[in-house]
Structure 1
Amino acid sequence: MLYQVTDWDDAYANGPHIPGADGYPPRWAQAAAAFRDHRPPQTVRRGHLFRPKAAAKGLMVFIHGGYWMRFSPEDFSHLAAGALERGWTVLLPGYVLAPEARISDITVEVAAAVAEAADVADGPIALTGHSAGGHLAARMICEGVLPDAVASRITACVPISGLGDLRPLMRTRMNATLRIDSAEAAAESPALLVPRPGIPVTAWVGGMERPEFIRQSRQIADTWAGLGAATDCVIDPGRHHFDVIEGLERDSPLLERLLA
């Protein structure tokens, strides 16, 4: 079957294709606030660090999405629950949003936050993120982003509904805010870059997502496999762009893939 995009704005528009989409962000914020009331985090830079009650087994990093333009760690604190319950320290890094920051700036800021958390959290590091955060999670394991000592501890990278190729976004109206140009797309698209060796990568995406997100997930898994990385692409049946992250809240195949 031919796959052709004629409306790039619609290709990356999730809300109009998800029943009750407007209700998700306020529910996220409410659940996140309730979780912080129960498990107050340590404030780090613009983000949050949650520590388990016993000695930590490792560091899990979740990077939020919102097309690099919306949200903050305060909207997603509850997604730390699953890893925290398993005894992992959890970092939710924040970053300056577009248009104040370009995507290249955000990459540097998130890398600094991950490196700082790695200094205070021992053990393996598991990276994940959602949508634009999936892009940033993948970006963290590209060559030259994280210090070698930090990168050597990474045992898994799981971009969820990640954006590995920024070039199509240049065709959307949101690029008036993001300001991606050809040079930045080439420099900041994980699918066009080389991953560090030895890090298993799972591109995780909902089966009910927009075709572009499924294509992007397959693209990075296939491209990086061609560069020698151990990759997989999991299409989570029945999940859409807004509920595909819920597996991080509890034991689930998603959390198992990230922390196993």
Structure 2
Amino acid sequence: MSDLEDWPGSGLSDEELDVAYNVRRKAGEELFARHMARYREMSEQAVDGLPGHPGIVYDEASGERLDVWGTGDGLRPVFVFLHGGYWMALSRDVSSFMARALHERGVATVVPDYTLAPEASLEEIVRQVRAAVAWVHRQGREHGLDPERIVVGGSSAGGHLTGMTMVGGWQDAFGVPEDVVKAAMPFSGLFDIRPITRIYVNEYVKLDLERAAALSPALLDTGHRCPAVFVAGEHDGDGFLEQSRLFQPRWGAGELMVVPGRDHFDVVLDLADPDSRVSAALTGLFSR
């Protein structure tokens, strides 16, 4: 683990950090509201009439649930999508916009909820999303999911949580193999979360530098290095772009894709477009 005072943006002022990481302010309230409306509308359209198993409790300790969408004949490879919202907003209900496009390519989608901050600590949120991956591996066959073909992805805070399923050191406690995550696609991920200790989000997640370092994928044992595509939008927040550019070469088993014309909120919606570069890259991860 690197020095606790040596982290991306540590030399910036609080105002400069806010500019780098406050993507909602960068987008503006009108555009942000349009993006959120698209999340909901596209998700509702994607799952309308789609075969699946919504509302399954995957973690008895928290009672949190997940939705399974796009099942079919036999066992299907599965994309586990972890929603963003800086760990304190959004839900599975607005996060299944890719389900129909993947279903048409023979891939199922699993979208879990997790308890939001500040009700849950970030350590507990990480535990829950790891439990969701473990549920797919242990019980997925009962719901048409192939436990040997799990790809995990997520946007923003969900990109951080994706990273926390990619690293090693947690799998034994959940009774899953080290390579349970066969590939990953974090969008606008946060991989060294120490900058969070100095921006508004910390009012909710309440981290100090030591805990933030312990919850940073970039500072943890990589374990089995699965293939990965690190995605960000051309017009993403500067802090998020820097995070992917720093972690991708350290991971050493993935590529960086910066999508032209996209911002922090709409780049992930390209998963719903089967003709997009992002969608093609995800499909490619299932064949590695």
TM-score, normalised with respect to structure 2: 0.82
Give the equivalent residue in structure 2 for 1:44.
56
Give the equivalent residue in structure 2 for 1:101.
120
| Contact kept? 2:159, 2:189, Cα under 8 Å | yes
Report the CA distance shift for 1:112/1:132 in structure 2 as closer, same or farther (over 3 A). same
Amino acid at match of 2:234: G
Query: What is the rounded CA distance, in whole Å, between the counterparts of 1:144 and 1:254 in structure 2?
Result: 29
Q: Please say if 1:166 is aligned against 2:193.
A: yes
Give the equivalent residue in structure 2 for 1:59.
78
Give the equivalent residue in structure 2 for 1:90.
109
Q: 1:107 offset after TM fit, Å?
A: 0.7
Amino acid at match of 1:25: M
Runs (4 or more) in structure 1 with deviation over 6 Å come to: none
Give the equivalent residue in structure 1 for 2:224.
197
Q: Which of the numbers 254, 259, 263 marks the counterpart of 1:240?
A: 263
Report the CA distance shift for 1:67/1:12 in structure 2 as closer, same or farther (over 3 A). same
Please state whether the residue corresponding to 1:191 is helix, strand or coil. Answer: helix
Q: 1:258 offset after TM fit, Å?
A: 2.3
Query: What is the rounded CA distance, in whole Å, between the counterparts of 2:27 and 2:282 in structure 1?
Result: 26
For residues 126-145 of structure 1, the C-alpha deviation after alignment (integer angstroms, 9 at most, x for no partner) is 11100000001111011122
Give the equivalent residue in structure 1 for 2:61.
none
Q: 1:224 offset after TM fit, Å?
A: 2.2
Amino acid at match of 2:246: Q
Q: Please say if 1:9 is aligned against 2:32.
A: no
Q: Please say if 1:258 is aligned against 2:267.
A: no
Report the CA distance shift for 1:100/1:77 in structure 2 as closer, same or farther (over 3 A). same
Query: What is the rounded CA distance, in whole Å, between the counterparts of 2:180 and 2:265 in structure 1?
Result: 30
Residues paired across the two proteins, number = 254
Q: 1:41 offset after TM fit, Å?
A: 3.8
Amino acid at match of 2:210: A
TM-score, normalised with respect to structure 1: 0.90
Instruction: Using the TM superposition, name which of 250-259 and 236-245 deviates more.
Output: 250-259
Which is richer in strand? 2
Give the equivalent residue in structure 1 for 2:152.
127
Q: 1:204 offset after TM fit, Å?
A: 0.8
The alignment yields a C-alpha RMSD, in angstroms, of 1.9
Structure 2: 5+ residue runs without aligned partners?
Answer: 1-8, 58-64
Identical amino acids, percent of aligned pairs: 32
Q: 1:9 offset after TM fit, Å?
A: 2.1
Q: 1:84 offset after TM fit, Å?
A: 1.8
For residues 90-119 of structure 1, the C-alpha deviation after alignment (integer angstroms, 9 at most, x for no partner) is 111110000011111111101111111222
Query: What is the rounded CA distance, in whole Å, between the counterparts of 2:38 and 2:99 in structure 1?
Result: 16
After superposition, residues 178-189 of structure 1 pair within 5 angstroms as 178-189=205-216
Instruction: Using the TM superposition, name which of 129-138 and 198-207 deviates more.
Output: 198-207
Q: Which of the numbers 18, 39, 43 marks the counterpart of 1:32?
A: 43
Report the CA distance shift for 1:198/1:172 in structure 2 as closer, same or farther (over 3 A). closer
Structure 1: 5+ residue runs without aligned partners?
Answer: none
| Contact kept? 1:15, 1:22, Cα under 8 Å | no
Query: What is the rounded CA distance, in whole Å, between the counterparts of 2:71 and 2:171 in structure 1?
Result: 25
